[in-house]
Amino acid sequence: MAIISFLGFTVLVAVISYLATRSTDEQSSEGYFLGGRSLTAGVIAGSLLLTNLSTEQIVGLNGSAYQSGLSVMAWETLAAMAMVVTALFLLPRYLRGGLTTVPQFLAERFDVTTKTLTSALFLTGYVVVLLPVILYSGSVAVSGMFELPALLGVSETAALWICVWGIGIIGSIYAVFGGLKAVAVSDSINAIGLLIGGILIPIFGLQMIGDGSILDGINTMMTANPDKFKSMGSESDPVPFHTIFTGMMLVQLFYWGTNQQIIQRALAAKNLAEGQKGLLLGSFIKILGPLIVVLPGLIAYHMFGDGLATVDDAYPKLVNKVLPASLLGFFAAVLFGAILSSFNSVLNSSVTLFGLDIYKQHINPSADEKTVVKKGKMFGIILAIAAMFIAPLIANAGSLFDYLQEINGIYSIPILTIIFVGYFTKRVPAIAAKIGLLSGSLLYILSQFILQPMFISNAKTAAGVTDATEKSVLAAIEGSAYPHFLDVMAILFVLNVIIMLIIGKLYPREEAFELTYTKQVDITPFKYVKQFGLAICVIVIGIYWYFA
């Protein structure tokens, strides 16, 4: 029965996506990469959330909550504030400039080489980090929910490989052959299912803990584990409270304001008002995100204690325990849709970056739009295959979500830096952007992957501890031995900005940069964008105050 409902819902989404997109011109770059600039607020919000909310979030962040408590909700709640900033300040500039990719702005502001380097950084991060993490976390969830090793009579490793390639192939069909609009429509349908299914898991879990009463379940959990319900993380937690004011907002602004896989949905808006409404609607729903990606982890801790093999087992084990068998197929289909959403969204953005910023720019400048789309699709297939080979190799990476966020710093902060300086200065030259990209990436790698392990090893030796020492003691030593990676991001952001400004002072552009406006869509803003944005920020602050 579970298999039938799983297949039924998955096929239904595919059929609806096909019917909704068959009239879109997929041969033109605007039709394929931006869905013909036709997306409305609801579709944008749904696609934004499903692009972001996949198993690396659901499995990974619930695993972090299982381990460290409510403080990890910062990844969700502060995202809402970053989306407000994007709606108010960044999206109007993007749409006035008629951008298809964020690096296109960098070509105008600095030069083509800066754009190409940025696109290459995006693509490297996608294929080495993001796509494999999505495939791996999704495979862990699907394999765990259906108990595939036992069902298929294979080892856990074999089941993992089967899931990785199954998800990868189906996701590639959506992204490579369907274009952005197919991705966005399927996202919107799956978003509804995910919100319903995602909320059911904590409801059933709390009812189980509270003998049928959700409120009793919450009271029981908060009484038994009060330390797990503090919004302000300690210095040994994944998100210490002070990092909210250092690197956290920088990461959020990069992700929601400049990351191609995300902002491409808003760039495809039919007008500025729809884009802003989509971002604001998404930000409001994002505030409710902890109910899906944090609360289940807390419930899992109450139910299982410290008895799980890895923290990323928390969510699949909880689903198996609390979800009625009659709903397992539906929820698995919804989760499968979320996995596909993130995978095909990243893949579609990769195809866009390669086709427009690399192939058209450097390999074949005279190529027509049909050829650009075709070559982009070929690149997408190669990228997907590479990610499918890499995915099973990250099985021992620790907490998936923490791993993902730390690795992303290699390219997120350098790119955010040059975009920030590009928009807020007029005479900083192209050489400063190139140095900013290079120094930002190299200094972050030096800090996190050479100096940090050395400092932590020395601190452990000085304290006379080993890996067998109690986890809380190890975490405290590691936390005090070296700055948190979010603090490192903030330090490097400020340092790179200073470096670029100094270069701009010493070797300024001959002419001040002026942003050119090409009216692709109506850029009249949403009438109440400021009021709604302020309301969302007040709600986020209120949540922190309540749980402080």
Under 8 Å between Cβ of 44 and 282: yes
Structural domain includes residue 439: no
DSSP tag of 103:
H
Amino acid 6: pLDDT: 65
Distance between CA atoms of 83 and 41, rounded to whole angstroms? 14
Distance between CA atoms of 238 and 47, rounded to whole angstroms? 28
Cα dihedral sign, 223-224-227-228:
negative
Amino acid 396: pLDDT: 61
Structural domain includes residue 388: yes
Residue 280 has pLDDT above 90, yes or no: yes
From the list 191, 217, 216, the residue with the least C-alpha distance to 205 is 217
Distance between CA atoms of 433 and 139, rounded to whole angstroms? 39
DSSP tag of 429:
-
The string of DSSP codes covering 447-510 is IIIIIHHHHHHHHHHHHT--TTS-HHHHHHHHHHHS--HHHHHHHHHHHHHHHHHHHHHHS--S
Residue 77 has pLDDT above 60, yes or no: yes
pLDDT in tens, 203-212: 999 999 998 8
Distance between CA atoms of 508 and 506, rounded to whole angstroms? 6
Amino acid 491: pLDDT: 94
Structural domain includes residue 245: yes
Amino acid 10: pLDDT: 66
Residue 336 vs residue 363, higher pLDDT: 363
Residue 101 has pLDDT above 80, yes or no: no
Amino acid 20: pLDDT: 59
Under 8 Å between Cβ of 317 and 300: yes
Burial of 279 (0-12, 13-18, 19+ CB in 10 A): buried
Average pLDDT, the chain: 82
Question: Which of helix, strand or coil describes residue 233?
Answer: strand
Q: Provide the phi-psi class of 119: left if phi over 0, else alpha when psi is between -120 and 50, else beta.
A: alpha
Please enumerate in sequence order all residues whose Cβ is within 8 A of that of 257, keeping only pairs 6 or more positions apart, or say none. Answer: 82, 85, 86, 90, 263
Amino acid 121: pLDDT: 85
Question: Which of helix, strand or coil describes residue 234?
Answer: coil
DSSP tag of 269:
B
Residue 1 has pLDDT above 70, yes or no: no
Under 8 Å between Cβ of 287 and 83: no
Domain count along the chain: 1
Q: Give the whole-number percent of the chain exceeding pLDDT 90.
A: 24
**Facing residues of 240 across strands?**
233
Range in 245-254, 270-279, 375-384, 435-444 the model is least confident about: 375-384
Amino acid 395: pLDDT: 67
Structural domain includes residue 454: no
Confidence of residue 476 (pLDDT cuts 50, 70, 90): low
Amino acid 343: pLDDT: 77
Q: State which H helix or E strand residue 135 sits in.
A: helix 131-146
Burial of 201 (0-12, 13-18, 19+ CB in 10 A): buried
Distance between CA atoms of 239 and 402, rounded to whole angstroms? 10
pTM beyond 0.85, yes or no? no
pLDDT in tens, 446-459: 998 899 888 888 88
Range in 136-140, 198-202, 354-358, 478-482 the model is least confident about: 478-482
Instruction: Tell me how far CA of residue 170 lies from CA of 21, 116, 161, 340, in angstroms.
Output: 17, 29, 14, 8
Confidence of residue 185 (pLDDT cuts 50, 70, 90): low
Supply angle C-alpha 259, 44, 519, rounded to 5. Answer: 75
Structural domain includes residue 201: yes
* Encoded tokens for 122: 């995006």
With b meaning 16 or more CB within 10 Å and e meaning fewer, what string describes 114-153?
Answer: bbbbbbbbbbebbbbbbbbbbbbbbbbbbbbbbebbeeee
Amino acid 422: pLDDT: 92
Residue 26 has pLDDT above 60, yes or no: no
Average pLDDT over residues 393-408: 69
Confidence of residue 29 (pLDDT cuts 50, 70, 90): very low
- φ, ψ dihedrals at 345, nearest 5°: -70, -45
Amino acid 467: pLDDT: 59
Structural domain includes residue 542: no
Structural domain includes residue 285: yes
3-state secondary structure 197-229: HHHHHHHHHHHHHCCCCHHHHHHHHHHHCHHHH
Residue 481 has pLDDT above 90, yes or no: no
Residue-range definition of the domain harbouring residue 403? 2-407
Residue 180 has pLDDT above 70, yes or no: no
Confidence of residue 340 (pLDDT cuts 50, 70, 90): confident
Distance between CA atoms of 156 and 136, rounded to whole angstroms? 13
Confidence of residue 316 (pLDDT cuts 50, 70, 90): confident
Q: State which H helix or E strand residue 376 sits in.
A: helix 369-390
Structural domain includes residue 88: yes
CATH number of the domain residue 175 falls in: 1.20.1730.10
From the list 377, 389, 381, the residue with the least C-alpha distance to 135 is 389
pLDDT in tens, 510-529: 889 887 777 677 788 899 99
